[in-house]
Amino acid sequence: MYRARTVLTNLVPLASLIPRAAPDRFASWILKSDHILCSITGTDIRHYSSSVATEPFLNGSSSAYVEEMYNAWLADPKSVHVSWDSFFRNSSAGAAPGQAYQAPPSLAEPGRNQLPITSLAPLLGAAGAPALGGQVNEKVIDDHLAVQAIIRSYQARGHLVSELDPLGIMYADLHSTFSDRKGKPHEIVVRKYMLEEGDMDRVFKLPSTTFIGGKEKALSLREILSRLENAYCRHIGVEFMFINSLEQCNWIRQKLETPGVMEISSEEKRLILARLTRATGFEAFLARKWSSEKRFGLEGCEILIPAMKAVIDKSTELGVESIVMGMPHRGRLNVLANVCRKPLEQIFTQFAALEAADDGSGDVKYHLGTYIERLNRVTNKNIRLAVVANPSHLEAVDPIVQGKTRAEQFYRGDGEGKKVMSLLLHGDAAFCGQGIVYETFHLSDLPDYTTHGTIHIVVNNQIGFTTDPRHSRSSPYCTDVARVVNAPIFHVNSDDPEAVMHVCKIAAEWRATFHKDVVIDIVSYRRNGHNEIDEPMFTQPLMYRKIKTTPHVLDKYSKRLIEEGVVTTEEVKDVRDKYEKICEESYLNARKETHIKYKDWLDSPWSGFFEGKDPLKVSPTGVKEDTLVHIGKRMSSPPPNAAEFVIHKGIERILRSRMEMVESRTVDWALGEGMAFGSLLKEGIHVRLSGQDVERGTFSHRHHVLHHQLVDKATYRPLCHLYPDQGPYTVCNSSLSEFGVLGFELGYSMTNPNALVCWEAQFGDFNNTAQCIIDQFISSGQAKWVRQSGLVMLNPHGLEGMGPEHSSARLERFLQMSSDDPDYFPPESEEFAVRQLHDINWIVANCSTPANYFHILRRQIALPFRKPLILMTPKSLLRHPEAKSSFDEMTENTQFLRVIPDQGPASQNPSSVKKLLFCTGKVYYDLKKAREERKLEGDIAISRVEQISPFPYDLIKKECAKYSNASLAWAQEEAKNQGSWTYVQPRFHTALSGSRDVRPPIQREGFFNKLFGGKSDDNATSQLDSPNTKPRIISYVGRPTAASPATGSKMQHLKELNALLDDALSL
């Protein structure tokens, strides 16, 4: 027994595992043990580790048996099993605990990442033979690890030396000039992991993180390097190893590394050639016919057209039915012609100086959008393609495309983005230079903004206008911004069409598989300057000398296919001639046209919306009182399962106060807004409210999402539970972005006219970081692109002593961009108000009552057309005791009041009123309070202008006539050079004076005029005072001119306010 115990001490570290280290109890302990683990080094074995519990010699046998085996071995080593012989030999020789036992060879297949040691036998040599000590040669292990590191190096850094530049000048990440690196692998890729030349023909087992072997499990180092070079360092360079998901990394590896993965059929090659011929032929045709015209052609990157078509083909094959596209101007005409298949006649007429058949100002041909439904001939499935119109602000269209895509997905019930997708094209300089790209990427995975994956294609000209990339970006690649959302980036040489097609198919499959963004960077060049009449040799002489000697990609690919025997020279010429003939026929047809039609270029048609409507009839905006009560009670009640849903005590107080208001038939601002939304939802209208902190409201007034105080993410949205068949309500806090999110909501609003889409600024002046969307799209979108939108912008506005950045929504900017004529008083008629709304570019209002806010929101849907609504919304009025409305102002037969006249004592005796003040918004309550304090209610009348633009000439004229003996003044809290004053002053003059020209402006009998009866009235006559009447003038009351919107001093603010009130109420 003693001997057995001695032997046992040389086993695995059992002694430390035995309770209380009692050697005499080891046998009983063995019998009780279920999990003794032992690590074993192998010599001629297949596994490097083994579990002791599975071995027969320690499976519960008695200590007597072990001692008997030992005694027998001492007498004759051959009398025991070879495994016991080996164990006792090693134990007697002083082997360390755990090193004495050796498992017998196993016939089982090696596991994942395991290597049969027999496969290393030829490499071990005599010194490393298993019989002499049992240790594997360390060099073998190190070499295998080095090979694994090399494979990973290519996957991570192979793109750095890929042959991406078709001009052969620079590597794509600008790290060095292009040079031939065939032969020894590049140091920047493999770093210190390279093996010796003598190792090149050694065979290494491939790890599970590569697919270069195909069905082979091991390859020579030379073959491994060759296959990695072909996969990662030829004409495709891929950045993907920063992605955190192993599944996604392996998916990309498989698509790139599998042997023969890029082989395509002769039929596919001919299709690429035909598409490339059309793309090249289109640009050549335009260059011949209109050599001096700007068209921002695609020369140098004609492969974009086959690339886009490959993405569309693969996507439609995978189930996509609608694709929304956004792009800059380069190549737009070619995309419209050859991707969307817009009739060539419509494109060619844009080059002719023809008069437009529609009203609107139009836009240059390379900014226009379109909408096409057609059959995809490759997949034999119908596809809808929309190219969104875009100004010269290259990337501004990105969030608009995403919003339009998201809306289409929403209305189709496409919750996973399987049927509708977005495709965005970019230029290299803009992609890395414009911040909106980053903002748009950060919407890509937000629950209420995701489009479930966008395919981005960068047309990388390796230049921005005249600026060298080395001076236009700090990042290695122009696409590095995409890394923030773990989007894989495929760089590809534009002069290898088959590589481009391969990458496009991978991108489409990636989007369909993972529903995440992906970037294709087509590294190309620009054969002309920034436009066709620009001279690039001034600034890039070396690059353009090289470009002049570079053959077109069509010539290169044609030659390659002729050499491969895929096509003949005659077939190549025949394809070119056929497309040339198509272009010529369309050109002749286009010359017969006498007008251009802007509506041919509409990117978001609203089928059936305008038809059968009275173009000047507004639906009523008042609702039944029962509806108001029902919505008010739902908004004032806790969740139905209130016992389990714990809401905040403060929210309980808010709900109680709402219920009290409903019972007293009054509403405050938040309740009025909720009733506007709720009544539209009852009618089946989709309502969407988006922006920073809108769920609660910046000023903690809205509370459209109630949060369980004890359970994370448990919420209740009262407006989603009003009626069983109501429209859907979406309220969503956005990312801290204005440019991106306002653009997104504009795109959303373009998709469906029967939806109320609202964007709220956290504070009004925060809209200035979205000024590009306001200027280029919202203000002028209909005039340029015949595209209507009913988007509502809510801009908290008002000077309340909170400093310059939390006071003004810059009302003056919106009014300055309003398109109504200050010198023209339209003919008065029953349709005066709606005709004004029809003719203007947008509506600007500053409501002072919840009821008017309720009506103006509902009017957005009640109008027979759509106009953007710019609302100045209050801050202090949200809780002002007087800023409340009765149900009587919201029920049936009530409507939005463009002007709210004085309803106090002054209105009872207008002839004795000495002063008539006009104002808008919150300042009314300041003026009213001061008037009461000074007992001037009978001397001074105060009228509120609620809709500032279009200007209510008719009501202003009526008010002024009512108080015929009163002096007139405009009071505002903003500085004199801000706010409404500069807008209203000339319009008051027109409404009051007979000296202004009141003839209507000359208008074309255009598309929208025909549709909405916008024809000018030749019988219009002046309703103004006769020239003999002394004209009345309006004076200004308010703060003097200022550079800053407001003071930062509370004391100074109060001082300025008191001066304003003194001035306004002086007689």
- What local confidence, expressed as pLDDT, does residue 999 receive? 45
Higher-confidence residue: 784 or 850? 850
To 5 degrees, how large is the angle CA 377–CA 379–CA 385? 70
DSSP 728: P
pLDDT tens digits for range 61-115: 556 777 788 888 888 888 888 888 888 888 777 776 667 777 666 666 666 666 5
For the segment 647-667, the average pLDDT, to the nearest whole number, is 95
Higher-confidence residue: 10 or 404? 404
Are 166 and 494 a contacting pair, CB within 8 Å?
yes
pLDDT tens digits for range 3-13: 444 444 554 44
Question: Which two structure tokens, joined as six digits, stand for 208?
Answer: 């599970």
Q: Distance between the two ends of the chain, CA-based, in angstroms?
A: 122
Half-sphere exposure of 239 (CA within 13 A, CB side): 23
Determine the number of helices (DSSP H) and then strands (DSSP E) in the chain. Answer: 35, 30
**What value does the mean pLDDT of the chain take?**
85
Q: Which residues pair with 945 in a beta bridge?
A: 899
Alpha-carbon radius of gyration of the chain: 39
Q: pLDDT-derived band of residue 21, with 50, 70 and 90 as boundaries? A: very low
* CB neighbour burial string for 661-680, b if at least 16 within 10 angstroms, e if fewer: bbeebbbbbbbbbbbbbbbb
Please determine, for residue 1017, whether its predicted confidence score (pLDDT) is greater than 50.
no
- What local confidence, expressed as pLDDT, does residue 22 receive? 45
Please determine, for residue 946, whether its predicted confidence score (pLDDT) is greater than 90.
yes
Higher-confidence residue: 37 or 494? 494
Higher-confidence residue: 137 or 911? 911
Going by their DSSP bridges, the two strands 899-900 and 940-945 should be labelled as antiparallel
Alpha carbon distance 258, 221 (integer Å)? 17
Alpha carbon distance 186, 473 (integer Å)? 25
Residues 6+ apart with CB under 8 A from 471: none
Look at 100-104, 227-231, 773-777, 810-814 and tell me which has the smallest mean pLDDT: 100-104
Half-sphere exposure of 252 (CA within 13 A, CB side): 27
Please determine, for residue 836, whether its predicted confidence score (pLDDT) is greater than 90.
yes
Are 720 and 651 a contacting pair, CB within 8 Å?
no
String of DSSP letters for 592-633: T--EE-GGGG-SS--TTTSTT--TT-PPP--B-HHHHHHHHH
Sheet holding 489-493, edge to edge: 236-239, 489-493, 518-523, 454-460, 420-427, 322-326, 381-387, 370-376
DSSP 464: B
- What local confidence, expressed as pLDDT, does residue 294 receive? 77
Helices (H), 218-301: 221-232, 246-257, 266-289
Higher-confidence residue: 1021 or 362? 362
Helices (H), 357-491: 397-412, 428-433, 435-441
Question: Which two structure tokens, joined as six digits, stand for 501?
Answer: 């097609």
- What local confidence, expressed as pLDDT, does residue 608 receive? 82
String of DSSP letters for 886-912: EGGGTBTT----SEE---SHHHHSGGG
Question: Which two structure tokens, joined as six digits, stand for 94?
Answer: 């002083």
Alpha carbon distance 950, 820 (integer Å)? 7
Residue 618, judged by CB atoms within 10 A of its CB (0-12, 13-18, 19+), counts as middle
DSSP 777: I
The count of other CB atoms within 10 Å of the CB of residue 965 is 11
pLDDT tens digits for range 430-479: 999 889 999 999 999 999 999 999 999 999 988 887 877 777 888 889 99
Please determine, for residue 990, whether its predicted confidence score (pLDDT) is greater than 50.
yes
- What local confidence, expressed as pLDDT, does residue 592 receive? 85
Question: Which two structure tokens, joined as six digits, stand for 489?
Answer: 């980036």
Higher-confidence residue: 1005 or 186? 186
Q: pLDDT-derived band of residue 142, with 50, 70 and 90 as boundaries? A: confident
Ramachandran region, residue 320 (left: φ > 0; alpha: ψ -120 to 50; beta: rest)? beta
- What local confidence, expressed as pLDDT, does residue 1029 receive? 58
Please determine, for residue 635, whether its predicted confidence score (pLDDT) is greater than 70.
yes
Look at 89-103, 264-278, 611-625 and tell me which has the smallest mean pLDDT: 89-103
Look at 210-214, 576-580, 753-757, 1002-1006 and tell me which has the smallest mean pLDDT: 1002-1006
* Whole-structure pTM value: 0.84
pLDDT tens digits for range 837-876: 999 999 999 999 999 999 999 999 999 999 999 999 999 9
Please determine, for residue 732, whether its predicted confidence score (pLDDT) is greater than 90.
yes
For the segment 298-318, the average pLDDT, to the nearest whole number, is 94
Q: pLDDT-derived band of residue 1010, with 50, 70 and 90 as boundaries? A: very low
Higher-confidence residue: 592 or 98? 592
- What local confidence, expressed as pLDDT, does residue 468 receive? 77
Task: Work out the percent of the chain whose per-residue pLDDT is above 90.
Answer: 61
pLDDT tens digits for range 896-932: 999 999 999 999 999 999 999 999 999 999 999 999 9
Alpha carbon distance 762, 796 (integer Å)? 7
- E strands in 126-285: 203-205, 218-220, 236-239
For the segment 320-331, the average pLDDT, to the nearest whole number, is 92
Q: pLDDT-derived band of residue 173, with 50, 70 and 90 as boundaries? A: low
Please determine, for residue 376, whether its predicted confidence score (pLDDT) is greater than 60.
yes
String of DSSP letters for 544-596: HHHHHTSPPHHHHHHHHHHHHTSS-HHHHHHHHHHHHHHHHHHHHHHTT--EE
Task: Work out the percent of the chain whose per-residue pLDDT is above 70.
Answer: 84
